[in-house]
Chains A and B, each alone.
Chain A
Amino acid sequence: MNDSARKSPAWLVALAWLLVALPLSWGLYQSVLKSRPLFMGPPSHTAPAK
């Protein structure tokens, strides 16, 4: 089948991806923020709990 006939506009494809990318990026940002304590500063962990 020939895809050149009345192709989906590029802006529509971009908009569709943007609509899912925005919440996804926000969620990713929130998770990275949440992960920061794992990599920050000197090891905050103490001796393993007995």
Chain B
Amino acid sequence: MPSFLDREHTVAPPGYSRWLVPPAAIAVQMCIGEIYGFSVFNLPLSRTLGISKPAPGDWSVPTIVLCTYSLGLVLLGLSAATFGKWVERNGPRKTMVASACFFCGGLVVASIGVRLHSLPLLTLGYGLMGGIGLGLGYIAPVSTLVKWFPDRPGMATGMAIMGFGSGALVGGPLGVVLMDHFKSPTSVGVSEAFLVMAGLYFVMMSFGALIVRVPAPGWAPEGYVPSTEARKLVTTAHVSADVAWKTPQFWLLWIVLCTNVTAGIGVLAQASPMAQDMFGVSAAVAGGFVGLLSIFNMGGRFFWSSYSDVIGRKGAFCVYFILGCILYLLIPYSQRLNSVTFFGAIASIIISMYGGGFATTPAYLRDMFGTMEVGAIHGRVITAWSMAAVVGPQLVTNLSAYQRAHGVPREQAYNSTMYLMAGILIIGLICNLLVREVDPKHHHREWIA
């Protein structure tokens, strides 16, 4: 790749505004976050042959979800873990360009796959290539942002990760608009929509890559004086990625993220059927409920992560787990009251903390392991998300189905799941409370900021 993509050529000149970095990060995250809005393509993709209704040979929705959404999220975690050190070595610009090439190239391949009705091509494009683009793009700006904002790392990573949460808000409606525009008697419009999205996203991600910079060695914000006093659970040392994952802190934080995501994604993925089953609301109202959750998922990432700068990361996760546990236990009560408004309020706060957990994690890792290879360490922790993305929805779906099969009324079938989620959050709380400073024997000796 051309040298202007290299880390050395992205060092910021004196006077470069650090406030250019968050929009660069958001530009990339907003595009790859499109995967959260992928569900709008499920039904049209299941009718690519029959157009108005599924025909023999058309793909089933579970197959589509498995080959695109699920595989993409699994590859996100695997590629973030695999390429984390490469990302640290090569810097954010080259990583963002690589992410754009994989993600947008994957959309083009998926578009061809839809046009030829080839499931392997769709899987290769959206699931494999798209998933690698997701992993690279997700971790690309993290270590850069925490270095630019040593005074407010939670807020900085919150802005970037908020961008990922906003991907569903933008990508879902954009996909619907494009499919409506391109659909015809011979096409559901998905292939064309993928192509246009590939072009738009490539422009947006390239813009992010163009303006991103890394701070010069020794740079600090004007007026910022690093604290000389040792702050509890905020290290001034650094731990390499290869050492970090051998520490108990890494695995405690892995479980902390996994439990927080499992509980949240279980509700997020099943929000619409839950609202319909528990309260008998129409599909339109349930759709509105999903839209509301998307807004809180995005807003929570910025709000809670910024708040963690005030109360500390451990304190923030204690809030997520304790408050989350109480709220999950209140969901069956909201069903007994038959109050969909109360349920909506509870679920919105839960989802805001689900997003908050994602956004607080990079800052937590920075506090524990320093900034030297925080991007690579974050990449390895992200595998917890892949695990949770598979486990969470399965828990909700299967447990509620089991309850119904054993005679529990449909509106009460989710109650046990809510108690289970509360239990999962307690496991996360215990792990969070066990987190201590990393033993100094693991600190890296040669790195200079």
Tell whether A pairs with B. yes
**A5 engages B15 (CB within 8 Å):** yes
**A13 engages B288 (CB within 8 Å):** no
CA distance A3 to B290 in the complex (A): 44
- How many A-B residue pairs have C-beta atoms within 8 angstroms? Tell me: 126
**A19 engages B14 (CB within 8 Å):** no
**B285 engages A16 (CB within 8 Å):** no
- Shortest C-beta distance, A12 to chain B (Å), equals 7
Within 8 A of A (CB), among B288-343: 288-292, 294-295, 335, 338, 340
Classify the interface of chain B: helix, strand, loop or mixed: helix
- Shortest C-beta distance, A33 to chain B (Å), equals 8
Nearest residue (CB) in B for A39 is B288
**A45 engages B340 (CB within 8 Å):** yes
Q: Which residues of A contact B207 (CB under 8 A)?
A: 19
**A3 engages B169 (CB within 8 Å):** no
- Shortest C-beta distance, B301 to chain A (Å), equals 13
B64-72, B271-279, B395-403, B435-443 - the one binding chain A: B271-279
**B277 engages A48 (CB within 8 Å):** yes
With an 8 Å Cβ cutoff, the count of chain B residues facing the other chain is: 52
Please judge, given known A-B contacts A1-B219, A24-B30, whether A8 and B291 are in contact too, CB under 8 Å.
Answer: no
Nearest residue (CB) in A for B299 is A28
**A20 engages B276 (CB within 8 Å):** no
**A49 engages B280 (CB within 8 Å):** yes
Q: Which of A20, A35, A44, A46 contacts B23 (CB 8 A)?
A: A20
Please judge, given known A-B contacts A2-B14, A20-B23, A20-B30, whether A50 and B409 are in contact too, CB under 8 Å.
Answer: yes
Q: Interface readout for B185-213 with A: 1 if CB under 8 Å, 0 if not? A: 00000000000000000001001000100
Within 8 A of A (CB), among B335-380: 335, 338, 340, 344
Please judge, given known A-B contacts A20-B30, A45-B281, A47-B280, whether A13 and B169 are in contact too, CB under 8 Å.
Answer: no
Q: Which of B15, B289, B290 contacts A8 (CB 8 A)?
A: B15
Q: Which of B14, B163, B289 contacts A35 (CB 8 A)?
A: B289
**A6 engages B13 (CB within 8 Å):** yes
> Counting CB contacts under 8 A, is B182 at the interface?
no
Q: Which residues of B contact A8 (CB under 8 A)?
A: 15-17, 20
CA distance A23 to B298 in the complex (A): 14
Q: Which of A3, A30, A37 contacts B222 (CB 8 A)?
A: A3
- Shortest C-beta distance, B281 to chain A (Å), equals 4
- Shortest C-beta distance, A17 to chain B (Å), equals 5
With an 8 Å Cβ cutoff, the count of chain A residues facing the other chain is: 37
Q: Which of B169, B216, B284 contacts A28 (CB 8 A)?
A: B169
- Shortest C-beta distance, A34 to chain B (Å), equals 4
**A45 engages B282 (CB within 8 Å):** yes
Please judge, given known A-B contacts A24-B170, A44-B281, whether A16 and B291 are in contact too, CB under 8 Å.
Answer: no
Nearest residue (CB) in A for B167 is A27
**B294 engages A31 (CB within 8 Å):** yes
**B216 engages A45 (CB within 8 Å):** no
Nearest residue (CB) in B for A1 is B219
12 contacts between A and B (CB under 8 A): A1-B216, A6-B13, A7-B17, A19-B204, A20-B23, A20-B30, A23-B204, A27-B166, A27-B174, A35-B289, A44-B282, A46-B280
With A19-B204, A38-B285 known, 17 other A-B pairs at CB within 8 A are A3-B222, A6-B13, A7-B15, A8-B16, A8-B20, A13-B19, A13-B20, A20-B30, A23-B30, A24-B166, A24-B169, A27-B170, A27-B172, A34-B287, A45-B281, A45-B285, A48-B411
